A and B are shown apart, each in its own frame.
Chain A
Amino acid sequence: MDEVILTRNVSKYYGKVRAVDGISLSVRKGEIYGCIGLNGAGKTTMIRLLLGMIHPTAGASFVCGKQVHSGNHDLWKNIGYLVETPHSYPDLTVRENLEIVRRLRFISDKKSVDAVMNKLQLGPYAERKAKHLSLGNAQRLGLAKALLHNPEILILDEPTNGMDPAGIVEIRNLLRTLASDHGVTIFISSHILGEISKLTTRIGIIHEGRLIQEVDTNQLDRLRRKRLLLNTFDNIAAQALLRTQGYPVNVSEEGTLEVTSQHAIDHPEAISTLLVQAGLPPTLLRVDEESLESYFLRVIGMLGGVK
């Protein structure tokens, strides 16, 4: 069986509020699946459904072929998770917090606590009480709890929340290694597309509780809009010239000319030659690619706009 995580038309309603609405998705073994959406889009609800913390109003979720429900506790043996901002017992030290998880997960190897602290650079804070940790280190402790038992599946909600840039890169590399070298399947949620796109192999965009697009990360490049931006000393003449040659030209918000024809984007040198031969040498000629954030906003805007 290749699908490690599977949801079938899963929905969760709170009264009239549709937190998650008929989402069907699957995550294959070793895949890093990124779930992205605005705050309140339904990402955390989706994660809680996958972890059996809430019951679906309709549909079902499956992990390793077994249906998720709160009584099926054997299911969680090989799953590590982190939901929203991680919280730990404030009066217990980092080591004690991890020791509790070690016992509750029946891990006989006592060195596993030290191992995971080293993996997440928590060694120097081992005897520090959780309430005295910085947000970044609290996040590391949350991740350490998720990774302590070397799980085959990781379900992580905003795992790099509160971390500094170096920490974000470190965690990204760690998760990548877990997926590529150890075959760990990772389901991760975030509202930062840039971060998700650097880590995941597939992205699902959730908006207003619905999965509105799934895309392989390596296809993102193809899906993002491109345009050729150019400037000359006489943009009006240049615009007229390009139009006579069959290129659709608009004036961008910045006042530069904007050509969206695929030929112009693929061959900017042809446009340059054309302009130079007409005595309108370009002072600016650049292929501009839509940012990930713009792409994301455009996708969710296509279905009713950003709310």
Chain B
Amino acid sequence: MRSILATFWAEILKIRKSRIFLMSLLISFFIPLMMGFLMFVVKNPELSSKLGIVSTKASMFGKADWPTYFGLLTEGIAGIGALGFAFVTSWVFGREYSDRTVTDLLALPVSRSSIVLSKFMVVVLWCAFLSLIFFVFGLFVGVVVNVSGWSGEIALLAANRFAVTSFLTILLCTPIAFFASYGRGYLPPMGFAIATLIAAQFIGILGLAPYFPWAIPVTYSTVGTGSSQIGVISFGILFITCIVGCLATFAWWRFADQT
């Protein structure tokens, strides 16, 4: 426990003092703002003719009501959020290699497992915090834009779906942590994250999204729209992916040569 507290404290200090943390907060504010803007464009068709491509994108949503807007936020966390979480994880694990500080962590009285566990803990907290900002600020923007069709029931359902989608997306950070450690930096995990997002698109076209871990959160985000086929098997696949990523990361830190 003492090891976990010490390593967790160190990880929090590193994050608190980094610019990346501030940047991630700004992005979490910016994206709901853009989504609210799209709603605003849908609500004000007279703007569409002046905005070209933005109006084309906005017109895809059809209505500027709360269910549509919540859906947009939830898909946002599963898509853009996944990339953001991947970046957070890449930074937490990969920066030790990029900054070459990893050697300072390898021969200490704290176990390497404590270090990895603390890193996972801060990744989860950081990503959950970003999700919270994303959703709460999204709500605020929706109110400001005056999106129609609000009801407490819809909001509760949407909040629940958003939270589960966000949780599922965070679970996929563990393979990213492995690739950041194995690849010793930021690029390999980010490459992996982008590749999985692209692959998810193609696999979605083939109708196999419920069985591809990186397509499952976004598929889940559409639950209730009639297009989702998420079931126990999908959750099982996603959890197994998470556990494999987790174990691989622990094993890498514990057993691999750290050159």
Contact = CB atoms under 8 A, between A and B. Distances in A.
Question: Chain A at the B interface: mostly helix, strand, loop or mixed?
Answer: loop
A105 B108 contact: yes
Interface residues of B, number: 28
Interface stretch (A76-84, A109-117, A162-170): A76-84
Nearest to A49: B257
Given A51-B107, A81-B107, A104-B110, A87 B101 contact: yes
B259 A73 contact: no
A73 B99 contact: no
A191 to B, nearest CB: 19
Contacts of A83: 103
Contact of B101 (A48, A51, A74, A89): A89
Contact-size category for A? 20 to 34
Given A96-B17, A104-B6, A104-B10, A71 B106 contact: no
Contacts, number: 80
A71 B114 CA distance: 12
A48 B106 CA distance: 10
Contacts of A91: 14, 17-19
Contacts of B107: 51-53, 76, 79, 81
Nearest to A100: B10
A41 B6 CA distance: 37
B108 A73 contact: yes
Interface in B101-129: 101, 103-112
B50 interface: no
A70 B104 CA distance: 14
Given A92-B13, A92-B17, A106 B109 contact: yes
Interface in B14-47: 14, 17-19
Given A53-B257, A54-B259, A103 B19 contact: no
A51 B102 CA distance: 13
Contacts of A73: 108-112
B258 A106 contact: no
A9 to B, nearest CB: 19
A103 B6 contact: yes
A91 B14 CA distance: 8
B7 interface: yes
Contacts of B108: 73, 76, 104-105
Contacts of B101: 87-89
A92 B103 CA distance: 17
Nearest to B112: A70
A53 B108 CA distance: 11
A17 B10 CA distance: 37
Interface of B: 2, 6-7, 9-10, 13-14, 17-19, 99-101, 103-112, 254-255, 257-259
| Nearest 4 CB-CB pairings of A with B | A87-B100, A54-B257, A51-B107, A76-B107
21 contacts: A51-B106, A52-B107, A53-B257, A53-B259, A70-B106, A71-B254, A76-B107, A76-B109, A77-B109, A84-B103, A87-B100, A90-B99, A91-B14, A91-B17, A100-B10, A100-B14, A103-B9, A104-B6, A104-B10, A104-B109, A104-B110
Interface of A: 48, 51-55, 70-71, 73-74, 76-77, 79, 81, 83-85, 87-92, 96, 99-101, 103-106, 145
